[in-house]
Amino acid sequence: MLITTRRHFIAAGAAALSHAMIARVASAQTPPASAGPVDPALIDDLVAANRILVDQGVVDGYGHVSVRHPGDPQRYLMSRSIAPELVTAADIMEYDLDSTAVDPRGRTSYLERFIHGEIYRVRPDVKAIVHNHSPSVIPFGVSTVPLKPIYHMSAFLGGGVPVFDIKAAAGGPTDMLVRTPALGRALATTLGARPVALMRGHGCVVVAPAIQMTVFRSVYTEMNARLQAQAMALGPVTYLDDEEARLAGASVGGTVVRPWELWRKKALAR
Amino acid sequence: MLITTRRHFIAAGAAALSHAMIARVASAQTPPASAGPVDPALIDDLVAANRILVDQGVVDGYGHVSVRHPGDPQRYLMSRSIAPELVTAADIMEYDLDSTAVDPRGRTSYLERFIHGEIYRVRPDVKAIVHNHSPSVIPFGVSTVPLKPIYHMSAFLGGGVPVFDIKAAAGGPTDMLVRTPALGRALATTLGARPVALMRGHGCVVVAPAIQMTVFRSVYTEMNARLQAQAMALGPVTYLDDEEARLAGASVGGTVVRPWELWRKKALAR
Amino acid sequence: MLITTRRHFIAAGAAALSHAMIARVASAQTPPASAGPVDPALIDDLVAANRILVDQGVVDGYGHVSVRHPGDPQRYLMSRSIAPELVTAADIMEYDLDSTAVDPRGRTSYLERFIHGEIYRVRPDVKAIVHNHSPSVIPFGVSTVPLKPIYHMSAFLGGGVPVFDIKAAAGGPTDMLVRTPALGRALATTLGARPVALMRGHGCVVVAPAIQMTVFRSVYTEMNARLQAQAMALGPVTYLDDEEARLAGASVGGTVVRPWELWRKKALAR
Amino acid sequence: MLITTRRHFIAAGAAALSHAMIARVASAQTPPASAGPVDPALIDDLVAANRILVDQGVVDGYGHVSVRHPGDPQRYLMSRSIAPELVTAADIMEYDLDSTAVDPRGRTSYLERFIHGEIYRVRPDVKAIVHNHSPSVIPFGVSTVPLKPIYHMSAFLGGGVPVFDIKAAAGGPTDMLVRTPALGRALATTLGARPVALMRGHGCVVVAPAIQMTVFRSVYTEMNARLQAQAMALGPVTYLDDEEARLAGASVGGTVVRPWELWRKKALAR
């Protein structure tokens, strides 16, 4: 029956199907092995990240954040399917890159976990990923106006912010959810080497080489969208030029620990 | 004198008058019988719903939420006339579909309770109703711009969002309040089979097959209005197409428990 | 010297000078007599009003609210010059309609107390007055767009909202403050019989026959301004018509106790 | 090697180089002497200022505020490089006007401290400086629309608000940070005798003769930007004229203690 399902999917013409997916279907039979325990401080950072994203208005009752397993690049860590504000260390689950849970114990997984697995698969530089419905970002995902860096805090947007249209990726209307490896892979392709991709009619995905920076970028992507819309209403806007974006991105990237310490302290104090 | 009042009303040309209304006037003489006690957990949900709508910025000192009596579809439950944030289990009253209180004991009822009774009467699928003055929704009720689903979270808007104009329904200027069964019936007619209707110069009404979903839809109707206005300011907007709205509505509808658990926990912790 | 000052003022051509003002100057020599103690519940209401206006975003560190003395229409009560959020019962002072403090005891008075005294003088129906810099209202005071009732909650705006231009009233540039009886009188003239007047480059003044309603109107003037601006950005707006505004104003006016009970409880709990 | 560095810098064509900078380079060898302890109440004011700017939405995890040393105009006080919300008295460091720390003890300094030193150097009237990324101000820094005083609370903007373009100052793309004395000097030149200068793609700088007023001006610069954008969306705007701005600036300036007392009390109560 699994084979039938797979054949049907192929018949539907999904271009992204691959050997990796076949492997995934097979691996669903046996839970993958754990890559072993991780430093509790990293789990605390992941819990903090969930709460910080709430505090900063980037996620509400939906959205998720993951971190790559420090001991095995083929594994990542993410909460079971609950609202980010409720996440505690006990809710963190381990997944392989097919987004199969190592030890589900009856816990529900986020439907869209394939966003995480498929990006980790093709972006070895990425160590943490946020998927959200960041409010100010939504309008940019449904318009033809590109998101551009309005100030140094969002200089990381300088390489361009692509929009993932799931209808084009799936070849027709869907429920808008990245609920298959093929869709996750298509999103990863749209993202390319960049830090942020918008998702039309849905939200966005944000990646970085560290969880602190992924959270930082999520916060300032929301802020950039809000401020860019306000600036465009005033008239023509001068964005950071490419070189400014590159230089400022590097400089500001080195200061991420400053807000992170504040945010983490407040998030874990609750 | 009741008859005189009724005749005067008929003379004024209200088209919606019917046998049902005559029955209502008669029934006002004797309080209707109670359909019996309900599970305290449902009352808690109703209390939580009131507070959640405050927490989410959907209601302020005004607005009301009701739930259909699980033991009798001819009855519904709603708070006495107080601000939603102050509602406790002791404030919940039972009404019949004429919106007559079963056991008033001197408690004041919301003037606009007929919104609830008349919708429950014609919409057997509806189990909970919210009436609010949700801020971002107000501008759409007084403009010619239709509210449309901008993302999957508000996919339930896909079937269209009608605007109820009380002046047309009443045949002339009113105090804008749905303070009679006839006006409640006219609003129910405008709503039709849909989940949301805007009310020009007033607010909106939101319905669903469960209280959790009615609250969810209220929250994301507000959010959609806010984000749609922002998106329109950027330029042309790509909304969910009909099939996307249908599919996403079904999928997201299945996840409502996720934010509900968060919202309820916080609402009842106070 | 007082006479000289007065003559200089007359020479400057202030049209609003009158016998009342001459009386005021004279009365400044001797503090006016108190109209006697008032019900502590009214003082509590006045303290609550200050805090509610902060909670609702109508005032920040500035703004003031007064209530007419229930025992003597020639007196009013208002806090000494401190931020509204800090006001306690001990800060409430009594003024006559010249805005002279009955018992100053070294306490500083708001520079713009003449707004209150001069409106109470010509509006016997008014029992409470708020002056604020309500944020969403400011843009309407500096534009040519009239504030109009967008929904039933702000139906009281239906009689029109005039804009007071202090430059025209004073015959030239000022420091924008209503710091003299003459300017207070000019503002009262602009207000006329209405509940709200905007003040160009400054804020607004809101009046009503009871303190609960003055607070209510202040809150929903702010809300109307915010929602009207949003609605106008969408396109043409249908406002309440005159009769709707009149009817809704009367109906909603009867429900003011509902939010007031909520607001007062929260304000005094701190 | 220091000389080489300096020569290289000169060769790069920085027009702002001067004897003062040469002195700074030399003084970097030996930490400058302290101007001695200051009244703890001033330190408390500086700590309060950091927190107030957070409470008022003017700074987030970034931004800094300094105060000139009351005992020596050649020294200023500012926190070590941490988020403003976390600043306590123990974090306050002393700097000379070259922005060299008197007693670093391994503590990190803000990269952009030269904003402070270079403005204090050329503006003897300035006793406190805020640098922030105040959200509503950012759009004005990247547009061609000048910030103008919309009401009396922001009358201090009446002399005009220049925009500092770091690309023009540096002669090409930078990382947007004022990380050298030369760039600090160029910013000070753009500021001139005014209280506020915007920084393109970055934020703004606000100065005043007292820390209370610098905080006040920061808060109402943010508010003016927000309200001006709203007013411009309505249509043509009437700003304060030059004389109104001058008169209102003087009058309102005398009332700064009113919000300050409120803000300080709340900030230090945490």
D224-244: per-residue pLDDT in tens? Answer: 999 999 999 999 999 999 999
A256 touches B at CB < 8 Å: no
Sheet holding C92-96, edge to edge: C92-96, C75-79, C64-68, C128-132, C203-208, C196-199, C163-164
Which residues of D are less than 8 Å from A236 in CB distance? 143-144
Which residues of D are less than 8 Å from C143 in CB distance? 231, 234-238
Q: Contact C201/D247, CB-based, under 8 Å?
A: no
pLDDT of residue C29: 61
A90 touches B at CB < 8 Å: no
Average pLDDT across chain B, whole number:
91
Question: For residue D270, with 0-12 CB atoms within 10 Å meaning exposed, 13-18 middle and 19 or more buried, which class applies?
Answer: exposed
B3 touches A at CB < 8 Å: no
pLDDT tens, position by position, C141-177: 999 999 999 999 999 999 999 999 999 999 999 999 9
pLDDT of residue B8: 35
CA–CA gap between residue C231 and residue A145 (Å, rounded): 22
Residue D38 main-chain phi, psi, to 5 deg: -120, 160
Catalogue the E-assigned strands of D163-213: 163-164, 196-199, 203-208
A237 touches D at CB < 8 Å: yes
CA–CA gap between residue C228 and residue C151 (Å, rounded): 9
**The tokens of A206 are what?**
């944000």
Task: Give residue C28's pLDDT band: very low, low, confident or very high (50, 70, 90).
Answer: low
CA–CA gap between residue C8 and residue C225 (Å, rounded): 40
- Report the residue from C136, C201, C233 with minimal CB separation from D152: C201
Q: Contact D259/C138, CB-based, under 8 Å?
A: no
Q: Contact B152/A201, CB-based, under 8 Å?
A: yes
Q: Contact B144/C235, CB-based, under 8 Å?
A: yes
B233 touches A at CB < 8 Å: yes
Q: Are B82 and B10 spatial neighbours (Cβ–Cβ below 8 Å)?
A: no
Q: How near does any CA of chain B get to the CA of A263, in Å?
A: 21
Sheet holding A92-96, edge to edge: A92-96, A75-79, A64-68, A128-132, A203-208, A196-199, A163-164
Q: Contact B176/C262, CB-based, under 8 Å?
A: no
pLDDT of residue B28: 52
The angle subtended at Cα C146 by Cα C140 and Cα C151, nearest 5°, is: 95
Question: What value does the mean pLDDT take over residues B28-46?
Answer: 91
Q: How near does any CA of chain B get to the CA of A251, in Å?
A: 31
pLDDT of residue A176: 98
Q: Contact C175/D247, CB-based, under 8 Å?
A: yes
- Report the residue from D153, D236, D240 with minimal CB separation from C144: D236
* Whether pLDDT at B50 is above 90: yes
* Whether pLDDT at C23 is above 50: no
A106 touches D at CB < 8 Å: no
Return the residue matching tokens 């534009």. Answer: C143
Sheet holding B196-199, edge to edge: B92-96, B75-79, B64-68, B128-132, B203-208, B196-199, B163-164
Which residues of A are less than 8 Å from B233 in CB distance? 139, 229, 233
Q: Looking at chain C, which residue has its C-alpha nearest residue D250?
A: C175
pLDDT tens, position by position, D94-108: 999 999 999 999 999
Q: Contact D234/C61, CB-based, under 8 Å?
A: no
* Whether pLDDT at D17 is above 50: no
Q: Which sequence positions of B are flagged as catalytic?
A: 112
- Least confident among B2-11, B219-228, C184-193: B2-11
Q: Contact B262/A83, CB-based, under 8 Å?
A: yes
C222 is catalytic: no
Question: What value does the mean pLDDT take over residues B220-244?
Answer: 98
A177 touches B at CB < 8 Å: yes
Which residues of C are less than 8 Å from D251 in CB distance? 111, 175-177
* Whether pLDDT at B24 is above 70: no
Residue C58 main-chain phi, psi, to 5 deg: -90, -35
- The DSSP element (H or E) to which C130 belongs, if any, is strand C128-132
Q: Contact A244/D142, CB-based, under 8 Å?
A: no
Q: Contact A241/D173, CB-based, under 8 Å?
A: yes
* Whether pLDDT at B10 is above 90: no
- Least confident among A230-234, D29-33, D38-42: D29-33
Q: Contact A143/B251, CB-based, under 8 Å?
A: no
* Whether pLDDT at D114 is above 70: yes
* Whether pLDDT at D10 is above 60: no
Q: Contact D135/A234, CB-based, under 8 Å?
A: no
C20 touches D at CB < 8 Å: no
* Per-window interface: B 21-80 vs C, CB < 8 A: 60-62
| Regions in chain A scoring below 70 on pLDDT | 1-29
Return the residue matching tokens 């007071």. Answer: C164
pLDDT of residue B15: 36
pLDDT of residue A7: 32
CA–CA gap between residue D171 and residue C197 (Å, rounded): 51
Average pLDDT across chain C, whole number:
91
Q: Give all chains having 3 or more CB-to-CB distances under 8 Å with chain B.
A: A, C
* Whether pLDDT at D18 is above 90: no
Question: What value does the mean pLDDT take over residues B86-106?
Answer: 97
* Whether pLDDT at D189 is above 90: yes
Average pLDDT across chain D, whole number:
91
* Whether pLDDT at C16 is above 80: no
Q: Are D171 and D262 spatial neighbours (Cβ–Cβ below 8 Å)?
A: no
Which residues of D are less than 8 Å from A240 in CB distance? 176, 201
Type of residue at A59 = V
Q: Looking at chain A, which residue has its C-alpha nearest residue B265?
A: A86
Which residues of B are less than 8 Å from A201 in CB distance? 149-152, 238-240, 244
Question: What value does the mean pLDDT take over residues C46-65?
Answer: 98
pLDDT of residue A227: 98
Closest C-alpha among A98, A91, A89, A135 to residue A117: A98
A202 touches B at CB < 8 Å: yes
pLDDT tens, position by position, C56-73: 999 999 999 999 999 999
Task: Give residue B245's pLDDT band: very low, low, confident or very high (50, 70, 90).
Answer: very high
Return the residue matching tokens 């903090």. Answer: A48
C225 touches B at CB < 8 Å: no
Which residues of C are less than 8 Å from B108 in CB distance? none
* Per-window interface: D 111-150 vs C, CB < 8 A: 149-150
pLDDT of residue A270: 81
Task: Give residue D30's pLDDT band: very low, low, confident or very high (50, 70, 90).
Answer: confident
Instruction: Give helix D211-234 / helix D40-55 axis angle, nearest 10°.
Output: 20
Q: Looking at chain D, which residue has its C-alpha nearest residue A149?
A: D201
- Least confident among B206-210, C55-59, D13-17, D91-95: D13-17
Which residues of A are less than 8 Å from B157 in CB distance? none
pLDDT of residue D29: 62
Task: Give residue D164's pLDDT band: very low, low, confident or very high (50, 70, 90).
Answer: very high
Q: How near does any CA of chain C get to the CA of B125, in Å?
A: 30
Q: Looking at chain B, which residue has its C-alpha nearest residue C149?
A: B201
Question: What value does the mean pLDDT take over residues C183-210?
Answer: 98
* Whether pLDDT at B29 is above 70: no
pLDDT of residue A31: 87
List the catalytic residue out of D112, D118, D222, D243.
D112
List the catalytic residue out of A85, A94, A112, A244.
A112
Q: Looking at chain D, which residue has its C-alpha nearest residue A236?
A: D143
Provide the H-helix boundaries in chain A.
2-11, 19-27, 40-55, 114-122, 138-141, 166-170, 181-191, 211-234, 242-253, 257-268
Can you spell out the DSSP letters for D116-173? Answer: HHHHHHH-TT--EEEEE--GGGHHHHTSSPPP---SGGGGGGGG---EE-HHHHHTS-
D201 touches A at CB < 8 Å: yes
CA–CA gap between residue A168 and residue A190 (Å, rounded): 11
Q: Contact B229/C230, CB-based, under 8 Å?
A: yes
- The DSSP element (H or E) to which D51 belongs, if any, is helix D40-55
Q: How near does any CA of chain D get to the CA of C105, in Å?
A: 19
Q: Contact A244/D82, CB-based, under 8 Å?
A: no
Q: Are C167 and C173 spatial neighbours (Cβ–Cβ below 8 Å)?
A: yes
How many residues are given for chain D? 270
Average pLDDT across chain A, whole number:
91
Question: What value does the mean pLDDT take over residues B161-181?
Answer: 98
